[in-house]
Amino acid sequence: MDHKPYVFEPVVISDSEEEELDEDAESEKEPMNEPKRFYVEKFEGNVLRDFYPEGRLKSESEVKDGKRHGRYREYYESGTLKVRGKYQSNRPKGTWKYYTEEGKFERKEKH
């Protein structure tokens, strides 16, 4: 077999193609795109996490068979707990507790 060494050749793109690449990069800055959501569900203990645009955790919920099932937590942008509850087959279940942005208990709801 005759092997040739790999030679790196830079790709030259026009300004319009570069603008398209920049637009694509902006659209990929969504809080949680589908490949990332898949990764979190499959490789991080079946926990689905959503994030605020700045990167802080917005919510996390346990997932089973592609549905929310188990503990759910939602947070204010400051990082303070906002809501705590449980899901069963994608539906809220039991007592859900709500907190103020200062972290004080506000109310509870039965589902």
Query: Two tokens at 50?
Result: 């959503």
In the chain, domain spans: 31-110
Task: List, for residues 37-77, the tens digit of each pLDDT value.
Answer: 544 444 456 888 999 998 899 999 999 888 899 999 999 99
Euclidean distance between CA atoms 73 and 61, whole angstroms: 6
Q: For domain 31-110, is the CATH number 2.20.110.10?
A: yes
**Site of tokens 């645009």:** 53
105 Cβ neighbours under 8 A, 6+ residues apart: 97, 98, 99
Query: Two tokens at 62?
Result: 């346990």
User: What's this model's pTM, rounded to 2 decimal places?
Assistant: 0.59
Task: List, for residues 25-47, the tens digit of each pLDDT value.
Answer: 444 444 555 555 544 444 456 88
